[in-house]
Amino acid sequence: MKTSTKTKAVQFLGIAIYCLGLLFSCTDVKKEREIASAAIAAGSKVLPQIEAELTNAPNVPRPIARKYPAKVVVRLEVTEVVQKLADGVEYTFWTFGGSVPGKFIRIREGDEVEFHLMNHPDSKNPHNIDLHAVSGPGGGAASTFTAPGHETIFDFKALNPGLYVYHCATAPVGMHIANGMYGLILVEPKEGLPAVDKEYYVMQGDFYTKGDFGAPGLQPFDMTKALKEEPTYVVFNGSVGALTGEKALTAQTGETVRLFVGNGGPNLISSFHVIGEIFDKVYQEGGSKVNENVQTTLVPAGGAAITEFKADVPGNYVLVDHSIFRAFNKGALGMLKVQGKEDKKVYSGQIMDKIYLPEGATVQEMPDSKAPLAPVAATKDGRIALGKAVFTQNCQACHQAEGQGIKGAFPPIAKSDYLNADVNRAIGVVAHGLEGQIKVNGELYNSTMPKLTLTDEQIANVLTFVYNQWGNKGVEVTTEQVKKVRATPPSH
């Protein structure tokens, strides 16, 4: 059907109004609303473009006042940074925007989002982003695989209101999330959220370090603990004490407080509770359904909730994961300081002083049963068969099913000159890990190969499998070779 001359004229008028307005008033929010409204009223199909306001936790961008959709440009940079995990403890966090959790993103239902993901040139690893608010393959992950020093862009439309988690989904996915790659994106409903006095951003995460809780220094990631779901730390907003002392949340008596609560995981479910408060409203799982008068709400790994309450009396209110050892022994503890006039009818204050007796610190354990022994290969063919299983479980996500790797990120192991040149070096890479620049088949790679927690037998099997696939040299690697190399400190 042909567009009428009148319709074309109306559309042109709307575009002209919008563009003319931007020319004279790019920074005036009130003027922008007037311009956008005039353009929409005139029939323009061009949405006003807005640069997204992004904030670090515990801060939240301002509520959205506009009553029309917009094209919102979101620019999010990935950086790998060493930061404090606890007093005297540092950790190499992989971040969306330089901190854990990542930047808070606030958009409106019906908005069209132009999303830019930038991976800092100093990063060692490729990254992408899966936004649970996106309807599309991988939540955007399929379109945002971004090597260090690169930028990727994709568009999506915000179809469903709610509070959603975003996270990295690059292999190994669990490691990327465990290193802090998650955050929240709020899609406000068209009618907006009810007004409150204070809004805060709180996100839980579990961290897995080689050292025990409080062990000082720069702590490396521990895959064994992660696989067993035995975190060293469980914290709010990326570190022990991130919401205590001078960093505590604040409010005045009589104010309403809204907490946007997320759980990056990667493993644990949070039992979120504010000691001394009752949630007047909980938007369950970050959606549209509201529950009332709630004491503790479950927030699944990769999920969120919105809680609202009124601060009735002054005092310090403790935020916890009510799986309580996590709060008082692993770090999942924050503070809301409420100041203002007391109300003795609501809360009397102290009436009696009693002695508190701690329970002690003895660790109690049940005897462990022994795990069955792993199979041992008797022949080269048997070693190849067992090695295939090890490869599928541990190596395939990065190096791909045919050993082709991922260009600019993970080197190929098919027809690999690096592997075929030195078998002992290849054993050392698997046994000790590798960090730094290498050249494979004429191309440079500078990502991190984590140390794999494999037995000598498993390393011999997986390397024998690799060497007998995809045009490699066909040798058999033995457990004796692996033991000899493992006993030698890495030279890199």
Contacts of 20 (CB under 8 A, 6+ apart): none
127 marked as part of a ligand binding site: yes
The encoded tokens of residue 59 equal 């801060």
**Bridge partners, residue 315, by sequence:** 338
Residue 382 identity: G
* Closest listed residue to residue 281, CA positions, set 306, 252, 253, 251: 306
Is 399 annotated as ligand-binding? no
Q: What is the dihedral of CA 288, 58, 91, 455, to 10 degrees?
A: -10
φ, ψ of residue 254 to 5 degrees: the values are: 90, -15
Is 203 one of the annotated binding-site residues?
no
Alpha carbons 125 and 71: distance in angstroms, whole number: 30
Distance between CA atoms of residues 341 and 326, nearest Å: 33
CB-based contacts of 90, cutoff 8 Å, min separation 6: 82, 83, 84, 217, 218, 219
Distance CA 204, CA 263 (A): 5
What are the CA-CA distances from residue 264 to residues 307, 447, 474 (Å)? 17, 24, 43
395 labelled binding-site residue: no
- Residue that the structure tokens 């975190």 belong to: 231
Amino acid occupying residue 317 = Y
167 is in an annotated binding site: yes
Tokens of 241: 């004490």
Alpha-carbon gap, residue 278 to 400, rounded angstroms: 50
Enumerate helices (H) and strands (E) in the chain, giving the number of each: 11, 26
Residues making up the binding site for Cu cation: 127, 132, 167-168, 176, 181, 322
Residues making up the binding site: 127, 132, 167-168, 176, 181, 322
